[in-house]
Amino acid sequence: MFSAIMIDKTDDGQAVTLQQLDEGSLPEGDVTIDVAYSTLNYKDGLAITGSSPVVRKFPMVPGIDLVGTVAESSHADWKAGDTVVLNGWGVGEGHWGGLAQKSRLKGDWLVPLPTAFTPAQAMAIGTAGYTAALCVDALVDWGVTPDKGEVLVTGATGGVGSVAVAILKKLGFSVAALTGKTSEADYLKGLGAQTVIDRAEMSAKGKPLQKERWAGVVDTAGSFTLANACAQTRYGGAVAACGLAQGMDLPATVMPFILRGVALLGIDSVMAPKARRLKAWDRLAKDLNPTALDAIGQTIGLGEAIEAAGRFMSGEVKGRYIVDVNA
């Protein structure tokens, strides 16, 4: 038997409980994993609270990330004892996820734990941090360099935002952090932000083109914040859009794209091919100081994860939750 969080469909929505499950109930897969840690991401908040149709099949064990030890494998790349990391691939949405002591899934979805990180640190990073690395990769590949000007990170105290600030600082960028929690200015400056900006400055409808400010942007908010970020991006700059914390709408005009050659770079972590994942994890190993993770991550037990997931929906989360599934 093992413990797992389970989302069941009910007549009036869904019920989320901590349950004891039999190993025989695990889904199909060629690798069985003893999970050590999982995490909570905004998406797990959506799934566990039922705020958005993230879960595509019931009953569902949520959790889009996990790290653990291979218990059994018939996959050529993995053997018992390997330490592996899983991010995305629809796990926690259509296939049972990481908020459990056991998991069975496809070996093709796994990457090795980078030697730079402990299992807990890998989950302090999680999908949020790996997505931050994908965003930075996209900006760098577009040609955004520190000499071209400041880079803006929106939703900066969140999981994606915190890791993006830390990586960009390490790469030599001057980072502006947009946040609704200006009381967390010291946290953001500790991670490497040069300037802290109140979210209110960018959260309402703005003009189609605004004063050029940013060489690049990592946006986790969507909606008006993303529209304003595009309108403030400098000639030839780029905006990596990965989130919808403000909203999934995009109330923008084409002006930044056709008059300033601004690029809107879409970032998806879930189905990203393996080569891009490995590159992002390499960047994290090289360009994210593991001590930054001490400031970013806090550990909770599996039983605490259900309540903590609700905090994402009110925007009150700072940094990352690491879930110790055996605590």
Ligand X SMILES: NC(=O)c1ccc[n+]([C@@H]2O[C@H](COP(=O)([O-])OP(=O)(O)OC[C@H]3O[C@@H](n4cnc5c(N)ncnc54)[C@H](O)[C@@H]3O)[C@@H](O)[C@H]2O)c1
Helix (H, G, I), strand (E, B) or coil at 153: strand
Q: Could you say which of ligand X, ligand 1VU, none residue 32 binds, taking C-beta under 5 to 8 angstroms by partner kind? A: none
Q: How many Å apart are CA 165 and CA 266, to the nearest integer?
A: 19
Q: Is 250 in the site for ligand 1VU (CB under 6 A)?
A: no
Q: Is 87 in the site for ligand X (CB under 6 A)?
A: no
Could you tell me the two tokens for 198?
A: 């109140």
Instruction: Check if the beta carbon of residue 121 is closer than 8 Å to that of residue 84.
Output: no
Q: Could you say which of ligand 1VU, ligand X, none residue 52 binds, taking C-beta under 5 to 8 angstroms by partner kind? A: ligand 1VU
Q: Is 135 in the site for ligand 1VU (CB under 6 A)?
A: no
CA atoms within 13 A on the CB side of 228: 18
Minimal CA–CA distance to 294: which of 130, 168, 125?
125
Question: 301 has which bridge partners?
Answer: 324
Q: Which of 50, 90, 301, 315 binds ligand X (CB under 6 A)?
A: 315
- CB-based closest residue to ligand 1VU: 43
- Among positions 159-218, residues that touch ligand 1VU (CB under 6 A) are none
Minimal CA–CA distance to 4: which of 28, 23, 30, 32?
23
- Among positions 15-54, residues that touch ligand X (CB under 6 A) are 41-43
Q: How many Å apart are CA 139 and CA 43, to the nearest integer?
A: 23
- Among positions 224-263, residues that touch ligand X (CB under 6 A) are 225, 242-246
Closer residue to ligand 1VU (CB): 294 or 316: 316
Q: How far is CA 6 from the centre of its chain?
A: 21
Minimal CA–CA distance to 2: which of 70, 101, 96?
101
CA atoms within 13 A on the CB side of 54: 28
Q: Could you say which of ligand X, ligand 1VU, none residue 49 binds, taking C-beta under 5 to 8 angstroms by partner kind? A: none
Q: Is 53 in the site for ligand 1VU (CB under 6 A)?
A: yes
Q: Is 42 in the site for ligand 1VU (CB under 6 A)?
A: yes
Least Å distance between CB 64 and ligand 1VU? 6
CA atoms within 13 A on the CB side of 289: 13
Q: Residue 148: what are its φ and ψ, rounded to 5°?
A: -85, -10
**Residue owning tokens 């700059």:** 237
Q: Could you say which of ligand X, ligand 1VU, none residue 3 binds, taking C-beta under 5 to 8 angstroms by partner kind? A: none
Least Å distance between CB 207 and ligand 1VU? 28
Compute CA distances 60 → 49, 67, 68, 147, whole Å: 13, 19, 20, 47
Q: Is 131 in the site for ligand X (CB under 6 A)?
A: yes
Least Å distance between CB 76 and ligand X? 28
Least Å distance between CB 21 and ligand X? 26
Q: Is 52 in the site for ligand 1VU (CB under 6 A)?
A: yes
Least Å distance between CB 42 and ligand 1VU? 5
Instruction: Check if the beta carbon of residue 41 is closer than 8 Å to that of residue 303.
Output: no
- CB-based closest residue to ligand X: 158
Helix (H, G, I), strand (E, B) or coil at 320: strand
| Binding stretches for ligand X (CB under 6 A) | 41-43, 127-128, 131, 154-155, 157-161, 180, 199, 203, 220-221, 225, 242-246, 267-270, 312, 315, 317
| Binding stretches for ligand 1VU (CB under 6 A) | 41-43, 46, 52-54, 64, 127, 244, 269-270
